[in-house]
Chain A
Amino acid sequence: MSTLQATRPFPDSEEMEISFGPQHPATHGVLRVMVKLDGERIIDAKPIIGYLHRGTEKIFERETYNGTIPHTDRMDYTAAATNNQALVGAVEKMMGVTVPPRAAYIRMVLAELQRIASHIIWLGTHALDIGAQTPFFYTFQEREIILDLYEEYCGARLTLNCMRVGGQPFNLPEGWTDRCRAFVDQLPARIAEWERLLTNNRIWKLRTIGVGVISAANAVEWGLTGPPLRGSGVKWDIRKVFPYDRYDEVDFEIPIGANGDTYDRYLVRMEEMRQSVRIVQQCLAKLPDGPVMAKVPKVIKPPKGEIYFSVEGPKGELGFYVVSDGSTNPYRLRVRPACFINLQVLPELVRGHLVADMIAVIGTLDIVLGEIDR
């Protein structure tokens, strides 16, 4: 019979070191967190990443500009359309291409649907992490419709590859706008349904209010973007600050939170879904006619130079820093990954909290390991 091994690293202390992940149900993929615990209380947490590293930035360097687009799909695989949007936006800006208005509007529709789809995954998994099982299934039903819309548009459901430098590869299929409109028109009722399960739920509030609090100043210091930043009360959205595509022509609000805790970030994301619905509705109403592809050379060859272009991804500011040496391949294509930078704050948020709070905080940061590890 074997004897029980001492699991404590320091014989005289009550501390225990525990490795969460990389195979753990709540780490959203292959995140690993080394947690130092005193009982249930977290003394320190150290995220260890890289288990999904595929060298995407290295691969970019050997691809042509249009050839890099499919690789961006695989970064934040829950938000392929916004990844595409950021990359093609960067290259277009570098080449001085103006996208036809119809293409810009289609891009906005696709990107906002993607934002809703991404927030849906976040809501389902976040609620699942906190123990509420049912929202997961309710939300995924709606996500299915979004994926069907994508499938109809570009043939893919997850890795969309649905944008090109200079515009859109395809025009919208017949009847697509009607189906899309029907979907977004009924979505606010669904969102209200999900909220009814959670927003005023006593346990949900107990688990999220005051958990993972970060002040606005600290959020800026840690470089948070997206809902984690807005949840702390910073009214900042790339779509408003540096409008790309035609975001200056649609009307939407930037929801912000007050306390910077998990509950506020939850409310911010829920409201963002409603705002995305508004944007899609306006885009569909305004959708202009005309070509979907600008006149761009067959071979994409940006001039020598460097450029940074970012979009407001569902997770935060997603930027591409393109360095071109004037050839057909990017000399360097750096991604500014929102999740990677948002995750960095995790130890700060969980120190002194309980183990269960760490799960809530990982969920509220809405990380996707495909983008963190690239």
Chain B
Amino acid sequence: MAEQDNVAPQEQAAPKPPWEEKPVPPEPRDAREHEQVREVAAVLPDVVLEAVEFAGQVTLTVPCERIVDVCRACKDGLGYKFLVDLTAVDWQERPEGRFDVVYWMHRFTDSKRLRLKARVADGVEVRSVTGVWKVANWMEREAFDMFGIYFADHPNLERILTWEGFNGHPLRKDFPIEGVDTGAAIYPDVYPPGGGPVAGGEGES
């Protein structure tokens, strides 16, 4: 599968090369019958909620509470040894759960990739996949930091890019793009909420 092939084959007899034509965007297709989806369905028949193929990339929506099972099955049974990326997307108004947690896996044997998606409501815990792939550790920490998604069983779920005590989760859609006043939250015991350093106070906690 020419998955990342953004280059069309060499121009054929057509009068106009593809770069002079109006670009044709790819269409999303239902991928329930796709080979990669069928593999997953064969192992865990009841997890495929939705399957979409877009531009050659297959996305599988699975129930949030089954995510660790699916990931383990994908890694151990189907050979997706490599977790390329783990992130989240915030769909603020979506009724069936605010966040998508996105897992993007790679299989070395035939160089195929598969995307898993779990819909999570705000405040609901997702089970951590750090037990499946070690690499998920920091990726989940980042998703927690940026979106406030809690990962259960994570060994060390701390903020990673912002500081401890940061107020809010920056990549949520309701986080103002110009930022928030966070001066007080850095050392709440030294600088009480509402402003910077106290006059005459000591700078060390």
Contacts and interface: CB of A to CB of B under 8 A. Distances in A.
A/B contact in complex, CB under 8 angstroms: yes
Interface of A: 49-50, 53, 55, 57-59, 61-62, 89, 92-100, 104, 166-167, 220-223, 236, 238, 241-246, 291, 294-297, 302-310, 317, 319, 321, 323, 331-332, 334, 336, 340-341, 344, 373-374
Given A236-B108, A332-B89, A53 B24 contact: no
A93 to B, nearest CB: 4
A307 B57 contact: yes
Interface in B95-128: 102, 104, 108, 111, 113, 115
B26 A223 contact: no
Contacts of A94: 25-26, 55
Contacts of B3: 242
B7 interface: yes
A346 to B, nearest CB: 11
B183 interface: no
B36 interface: no
A146 B137 CA distance: 37
Contacts of B162: 50, 53
A96 B161 contact: no
B4 A244 contact: yes
B135 interface: yes
A99 B7 contact: yes
A58 B175 contact: yes
Interface string B67-88: 0000000000000011111010
Contact of A96 (B23, B89, B138, B177): B23
B53 to A, nearest CB: 10
A166 B22 CA distance: 11
B197 interface: no
Given A49-B161, A50-B160, A93-B55, A309 B6 contact: yes
A332 B89 CA distance: 7
A166 B23 CA distance: 10
Contacts of A104: 7
4 smallest A-B Cβ distances: which pairs?
A: A223-B135, A242-B4, A294-B19, A98-B18
A295 to B, nearest CB: 5
Contact of A331 (B18, B83, B89, B146): B89
Contacts of B108: 220, 236
Given A236-B108, A242-B4, A303-B25, A341 B139 contact: yes
Most buried by A among B5, B17, B85: B85
B204 interface: no
A61 B7 CA distance: 27
B21 interface: yes
Contact of B138 (A99, A341, A373): A341
B163 to A, nearest CB: 7
B171 interface: yes
Contact of B146 (A57, A304, A321): A57
A50 B163 contact: yes
Contacts of B137: 344
A96 B24 contact: yes
Given A96-B23, A98-B19, A62 B161 contact: no
Contacts of B21: 295
Contacts of A317: 84
B198 interface: no
Contact of B134 (A221, A319, A331, A336): A221
Contacts of B5: 242-244
A242 B163 CA distance: 37
B6 A98 contact: yes
Contacts of A344: 135, 137-138
B25 A220 contact: no
A373 B20 CA distance: 39
A374 B19 contact: no
A296 B28 contact: no
B63 interface: no
B160 A242 contact: no
A220 B132 CA distance: 12
A93 B4 contact: yes
Contacts of A245: 7
Contact of B89 (A99, A238, A242, A323): A323
B8 interface: yes
B102 to A, nearest CB: 7
Interface in B146-205: 146, 159-163, 170-171, 175, 177, 179
Contacts of B135: 221-223, 341, 344
